[in-house]
Amino acid sequence: MRWMELPRKVAVGSGVVLELPEICADLKLAPRVLIVTGPNTQDVVGKAIFDLLMDGGFQPETLVCSASQIEEVARAERLAREIKADFLIGAGGGRSIDIAKLASLTLDVPFLSVPTAASHDGIASAQASLTINGETSSVPAHAPLAIVADTRIISQAPTRLLAAGCGDIISNFTAILDWQLAHRLRNEEYSEYASALSSMTARMIVELAPDIRPGLDDSVKIVVKALISSGVAMSIAGSSRPASGSEHKFAHAVNSISPGRALHGELCGLGTIMMMYLHGQDWKMIKRALGQVGAPVAAIELGLDAEIVVEALIHAHKIRPERYTILDAGLNRNAAARAAEATGVI
Ligand SMILES: [Zn+2]
């Protein structure tokens, strides 16, 4: 028997961070809390949350983490044990949230997600990305008990991050096509509900793409809600299947060949263009939408050589081999180069 794990409270809007103590009290959370934040996000939101919780009768402690590495997760676990934390808060971009998510899983206490950027769906999902010995992988964790996404804070984040978030949502198009393929060819378990929610979310972003502008509260709201919907789709499915397919494998492959060049969502966006082509679907629609939100649509925009793109396409199927996608059909070098060239990615 599999349980669906969903967030209990979701607050999205301008200034909602001020409601954090009330949300924690309403969730009947005990007073000791460890806030995991980053060196920059500490000033953006970490200190503010600390004061808010203190005034609200909680006993907060802060840990500033720099990278989403296993050592940092261990550090968070140690401090949380030391202060006997009743719950954790991940306040920042992806890293702080991932560290809080993973540490809280080991400690068996709840965690809350307070994102400062809308750059990927990890802000709402039960998956975390973790670096072990230099290799980054996606690991199953648990969903946040609550998500408090203050759009006033998120709209201050660099432009590039919101565009990357759109790329991570648009990925759902090919993630669903891959999932359907795996269902047909491998009899893999498939959820109509998770699939419908995930597809609808991606379609909404494509339809609204012309109106999505960085720095605008309404645009941020659209993207944050879509990232949360993607997270919920994954919770319903009990895996990242509805939001991660061949395009994510491509993104991970690029990162392992040439680490740190681009943001996760940017690479997923590029991957989605090419995987739509391989699926024989409307890749031009994807490319147009990504262009409209200001996300990269060609490798050169990220400083990636054509050879890296082709190599990543050829080797991507080796990443998470148990997850069947269009790439497992046996893409050869010539076909890989053609997919990248025909779509203008290289
Ligand atoms: Zn992703």
* DSSP-assigned states of every residue in 187-214: -----HHHHHHHHHHHHHHHHHGGG--T
- In this predicted structure, what is the pLDDT of residue 129? 83
Helix ranges (DSSP H) in the chain: 20-26, 41, 47-55, 70-82, 94-107, 151-154, 159-170, 172-186, 192-208, 217-237, 246-257, 264-278, 283-293, 306-315, 333-342
Residue 260 in tokens: 């740190």
What six digits make up the tokens of 247? Answer: 């395009």
Calculate how far, in angstroms, residue 168's C-alpha sits from the geometric centre of ligand 1. Answer: 5
CA of 282 to the centre of ligand 1 (A): 21
Instruction: Give the separation between CA 77 and CA 65, rounded to whole angstroms.
Output: 12
Q: Give the residue from 153, 181, 317 showing the smallest Cα distance to 249.
A: 317
Distance from residue 176's CA to the centre of ligand 1 (Å): 13
Expressed in angstroms and rounded, the spacing between residue 51 Cα and the centre of ligand 1 is 32
Distance CA 245, CA 31 (A): 40
Q: What is the DSSP string of 92-161?
A: ESHHHHHHHHHHHHHHT--EEEEES--SSGGGTSSEEEEEETTEEEEEE----SEEEEEHHHHTTS-HHH
Confidence of residue 330 (pLDDT cuts 50, 70, 90): confident
- pLDDT confidence bin for 67, thresholds 50/70/90: confident
User: pLDDT tens across 195-236, in order?
Assistant: 999 999 999 999 999 999 888 899 999 999 999 999 999 999
pLDDT at position 300: 97
Question: CB–CB of 124/7 below 8 Å?
Answer: yes
Stated pTM of the model: 0.95
Residue 119 Cα, ligand 1 centroid: separation in angstroms? Answer: 9
Query: How far is Cα 104 from Cα 100, in angstroms, rounded to an integer?
Result: 6
